[in-house]
Amino acid sequence: MASKKIDKKDIAKLLSLWSQQFAVFTPSQASGVATMAKWDGKDASFLDWYRNTVIPPKANFLPAMEEMFGFQKDREGYHIELLPSNERKQLIFGVRPCDAKALAILDMTFKEAYEDPYYLPKRSSAVLVGLGCTNPYDSCFCTSLGISPAQSTDVDLMLTDIGDEFLIEEVTDKGKELIAKATEVKKASKEEEAKAKEVKEAARQKVTRKIDTEGIGDRLLACFDDEDYWEKIAAKCISCGICTLLCPTCYCFDINDELVRQQGARFRSWDSCAFPLYTKMPMENPRLEKWRRVRQKVCHKFKFYPMNFGVIACTGCGRCIRLCPVNWDITQTLESVPVKV
């Protein structure tokens, strides 16, 4: 299929056009941290600084906190008050291939394992406009997970930076529809398509951090009971939630009720297996020791998720490495897993 293109200067016009139909989200630092936030309606100046967001786009579908429903208490008991769902369909502009793949991985939990009534409506009505990565961080290792930083999968429309313009690939019918009426979108030439291909390959070459995923699940299982090994690996971890809460594929959540006088609400919010209380039960805590929690995190991503869904729950986005207070590095851990199988 022939590709299209758009002048970078016209991106704001395109976003305006989409705003008529969607709630448009773009990379933004307005809140004080890089996240996919409601487009300011002004310009596309985020393109100047954007490499990737700190808060992954999963937050657009599984927010850090969300009110599930309200309830009222009276003499007869509790009365549930469902919240009106009048959210607009989301269009997220600028999703990186690692994060797009991460959403596909999250879908397996929220769509296949069970149907999550909060995640799914948001997710299935959303449109993703991908933006290829041309300047990956030194913490990125997506290529080891079978992802190329500018690949055009798991999105509806894919953009590749070819200089003053973006090359556009229509990945899905939804994506095709998005630009059907956009007068700014032009047909791309063969040369421009070739240029995009070059850019994609160059980006792939820039990812130098590697992990060896060959047989990783079995290797992890082989050293699962090696307490000394895991204690050493976990020694400097401070059990904060950064690597999990900000992981694009981590989906654990907690549920809490709040009742003030007669009026209450149920919330769900991100939770993390790094927290000791995560597995606290009335009689005991199977993961009281830090090394057990670190082991769980690593094994869940590289052994258990593959067992359940056939895919590694890591896309090499590198957030967990970049943001870690102690520079705990998952790639070093995986490298150090004893090779004996």
Partner 1 sequence: MEQRLRHEAKALLEQGKVDWIIGFEPGSLKFTTTPLITNDKNDADRLVINPFIVNNLANFLTEVKGRVGIVAKGCDSRSIVSLIQDNKVLRESVVILGVPCLGIIDLSKIERLVTKDRNELDDIIREGDKVVIRVDGEKKEFPTTQALFDNCLACEFPTPQEYDILLGEPKPAAPNLAQSRENIEKLEGMSPGERWDFWKNELNRCIRCYACRNVCPACFCQRCFVEETEPQWVLPVPRWQDNLIFQIVRNIHVAGRCTDCGECQRVCPVNIPLRSLAREMYDLVDELFHFKAGMDKDARSLMTHYEEKEAEEFFR
**Interaction site with partner 1 (CB under 8 A):** 31-33, 51, 54-55, 64-65, 137-139, 235-236, 238-242, 245-246, 254, 256, 258, 267, 269-272, 275, 277, 321-323, 325-329, 331-332
Kindly state the smallest distance separating residue 54's Cβ from partner 1, in Å.
6
CB of 97 to partner 1, least distance (A): 19
Cβ–Cβ under 8 Å, residues 192 and 18:
no
Asked if residue 132 lies in contact with residue 161, where contact means CB atoms within 8 angstroms, the answer is yes
Q: At closest approach, how far in Å is the CB of 145 from partner 1?
A: 18
Cβ closest to partner 1, residue 18 vs residue 328? 328
One-letter amino acid of 315: T
Both structure tokens of 299: 């094994």
159 contact partners, CB below 8 Å, separation of at least 6: 6, 129, 130, 131, 132, 166, 167, 168, 169
Widest distance between CA atoms in the chain: 74
Q: Which residues pair with 91 in a beta bridge?
A: 24, 127
Distance from C-alpha of 258 to C-alpha of 267, rounded to nearest angstrom: 8
Q: Which is nearer to partner 1, 157 or 317 (CB)?
A: 317
The answer to whether the CB of 167 falls within 8 A of the CB of 2 is no
CB of 188 to partner 1, least distance (A): 30
CB closer to partner 1, 15 vs 142: 142
Name which of 24 and 245 has its Cβ closer to partner 1.
245
Closer residue to partner 1 (CB): 10 or 226: 226
Residue 273 structure tokens: 């297996």
Whole-Å CA distances, 43 to 14, 52, 54, 138, 320: 10, 18, 21, 29, 30
Nearer to partner 1, 194 or 326 (CB): 326
**What is the pairing mode between strands 157-161 and 127-131?**
parallel
Q: Which is nearer to partner 1, 16 or 205 (CB)?
A: 205
DSSP assignment string, 285-300: -TT-SHHHHHHHHHHI
Q: Which is nearer to partner 1, 205 or 239 (CB)?
A: 239
- Compute the least distance from the CB of residue 312 to partner 1, in Å: 20
The sheet with strand 65-74 has its strands ordered as 77-82, 65-74, 263-270, 253-260
Report, in Å, the least distance between residue 153 CB and partner 1. Answer: 26
